[in-house]
Amino acid sequence: MIELENNHVVKDGTVDVHGNPADKTKTGNWKACFFILGNECCERLAYYGMSTNLVNYFIQRLHQGNATAAKNVSNWSGTCYVLPLLGAFLADSYWGRYWVIAIFSMIYVFVSFFHFPIFDHCNSAVAAFVAIYLIALGTGGIKPCVSAFGADQFDETDDKEREKKSSFFNWFYFSINVGALIASSVLVWIQTNVGWGWGFGIPTVTMALAVVSFFSGSHLYRRQKPGGSPLARIAQVLVASFRKFNVKVPDDEGILYETAEEESYIQGSRKLEHTNNLRCFDKAAIPTEDDDMKGTPNPWRLCTVTQVEELKSIIRILPIWATGIIFSAVYSQMSTMFVLQGNTMDQHIGPKFRIPSASLSLFDTLSVIFWVPVYDKLIVPYARKFTGNERGFTPLQRIGIGLVISVFSMVVAGILEVVRLDLVRKNDYYDMKTLPISIFWQVLQYFLIGCAEVFTFIGQFEFFYGQAPDAMRSLCSALSLTTNALGNYLSSLLVVIVSNVTTRNGKLGWIPDNLNRGHIDYFYWVLAILSVVNFFVYLWISSWYKYKVTGIEN
């Protein structure tokens, strides 16, 4: 009977709501994930309901110019993807993912209920910015933890559950885009035709539903125990390595210090195998005469192999992380340049109905909703026959495919802008607000962005979760999100540079308020060229990357 009960215990160290080892038959798996996916769908509906049309809010209500509005949206979006570092630190160090999601969700709801009337009744830029940046704080605690918390529901030491975990990331991103679909269609229409108060008030209600959905599944969740401050452990390795700068690294790795117990001393983390790269940090795990080996060694002088390997894991993924910044800059154009480009085009469907330009992002969402099941049910089984990998493509292969597709999205957007400007020149439409060219010509560039997302963003979710040390998974998920932040900041920086350089000597520049006299096609070409260079850098970096031993094949 005892053996049978032990077989039911999850072996990855997760616990149930009472703090006991999680039971496979009663916790986790898809039955727990449905509540997590429901939470994510509602939270993303709330987020995209505020972000999708924000550039037009800045222009119409705060009377900002195109370049200023685009820069402010990029800065805010970037902040939304930097603050997850705070939420991730709290989750991995002290509170755990469950409580960070719960607490920051409630902050999100409270702030939203308190501030959403501002958007409809106040033209103060200060009040509006205070509101949206407080909302950024709320989302900063949720973003890095939800995907990792959902993946925690599958035991990666179990072959069947590990395969389901890979599928979870696909459906997690699918739920994000169901929320985004409603936001980019229904909510944007309400904001444009009914009012900003209603348009931002409805996301507040959906965020409240997200909290209800999350708490409803509490008894089913598997929770990873927080392992203490990962930043402190990294600092200890760096300090210990520096102190032993003159110590020679031995050829026999058995000399390196590791605890005798089966489990790592880091709570919620399994031991990591020693690797031969970045051997300079192995010095932190070399016992010397100055180390007290009778009791517990001072971690600022002697670290375990697992602790050293944590730092190595982070360093190894940083180059892959950096290549995601350009992709995120391309992705951010949907909420800035694509919207501004669409504002100049005919938005009518029939004689009476007019679709807001920001609503075209629903075709990005529809693309994701189309490609996720196609990838999961058709592409993966087919690719598995040729690659021999249980996931069809490795995470790095998947990311690379998305980077290629993103280049084509910029090329298509640039070609459309060339056609649009050609129409302006031939017919002297320079001062015409709306050109006689359908906004639906933008559909292809949105669709390609969505396709690229399914490969790159989901590949990043899987890669950073899988390659992260057990006690740093929230932090690594947040690290992957910071590529979105830096991509938005890069886009904002490019706009500033382009505006300053191209407006000299009395010229209007590439991104004037009247885009008919500008050249945002040049801006798209710059991003396309940067994306091509980034892809070849990525190929070089990924060619030497070695996956850590977690059942993922290289």
pLDDT tens, residue by residue, 481-527: 888 888 888 888 888 888 888 887 767 788 888 888 888 899 999 99
Question: Which one has a higher pLDDT value, 506 or 250?
Answer: 250
Domain with CATH 1.20.1250.20 in the chain: 29-226+314-543
Q: Using one digit for the tens of pLDDT, what is the confidence trace for 109-131?
A: 877 666 555 555 556 677 778 77
The string of pLDDT tens digits covering residues 271-290 is 888 888 888 888 888 888 77
Burial (Cβ within 10 Å: 0-12, 13-18, ≥19) of residue 528: buried
Look at residue 550 and tell me whether its pLDDT is greater than 70.
no
How far apart are alpha carbons 409 and 213 in whole angstroms? 36
Confidence at residue 410, expressed as pLDDT on a 0 to 100 scale: 95
Span 75-82, average pLDDT? 82
63 or 424, which is more confident: 424
Residues in Cβ contact with 552 at an 8 Å cutoff, skipping those fewer than 6 apart: 391, 394, 395, 466
Asked whether residue 390 carries a pLDDT value surpassing 60, the answer given is: yes
User: Mean pLDDT over all residues of the chain?
Assistant: 84
CA distance linking residue 67 with residue 300, whole number of Å: 49
User: Which tokens is 365 given?
Assistant: 């969402």
Contact of 410 with 521, CB cutoff 8 Å: no
Q: Which two tokens stand for residue 283?
A: 């010095």
Report how far residue 481's alpha carbon sits from residue 140's, in angstroms, rounded to the nearest whole number.
10
Mean pLDDT of 256-283: 80
Q: What is the token pair recorded at 323?
A: 């290549």
Q: What distance in Å separates the CA atoms of residue 266 and residue 470, rounded to the nearest whole number? A: 9
The pLDDT of residue 4: 39
- Mean pLDDT over residues 440-444, rounded? 93
Angle between helices 305-322 and 443-467 (to 10 degrees): 170
- For residue 417, what are its two tokens? 């802008």
Higher pLDDT, 117 or 371: 371
Topology adopted by domain 29-226+314-543: Growth Hormone; Chain: A; (1.20.1250)
Highest mean pLDDT (candidates 270-284, 418-432, 468-482) = 418-432
Residue-level pLDDT at 356: 81
Instruction: Report the range of poorest mean pLDDT among 360-374, 379-393, 539-553.
Output: 539-553
Provide the pairing of β-strand 345-346 with 353-354.
unpaired
Long-range contacts of 367-370 (CB under 8 A, 24+ apart): 367/446, 367/447, 367/448, 367/449, 367/450, 367/451, 367/453, 367/454, 368/173, 368/174, 368/176, 368/177, 368/180, 368/450, 368/453, 368/454, 369/174, 369/177, 369/178, 369/181, 370/450
Q: In whole angstroms, what is the distance from residue 553 CA to residue 397 CA?
A: 12
* pLDDT value of residue 177: 83
pLDDT at 287: 87
Contact status, residue 214 vs residue 36, Cβ threshold 8 Å: yes
pLDDT at 117: 56
Tell me if 312 sits within 8 A of 278, measured CB to CB: yes
Residue 101 has pLDDT above 80, yes or no: yes
Rg for the chain, CA atoms, rounded: 25
Q: What is the pLDDT of residue 1?
A: 36
Specify the range with the lowest mean pLDDT, choosing from 94-108, 185-199, 203-217. Answer: 185-199
Which residues make Cβ contacts (< 8 Å) with residue 303, sequence separation at least 6?
233, 236, 237, 240, 257, 284, 285
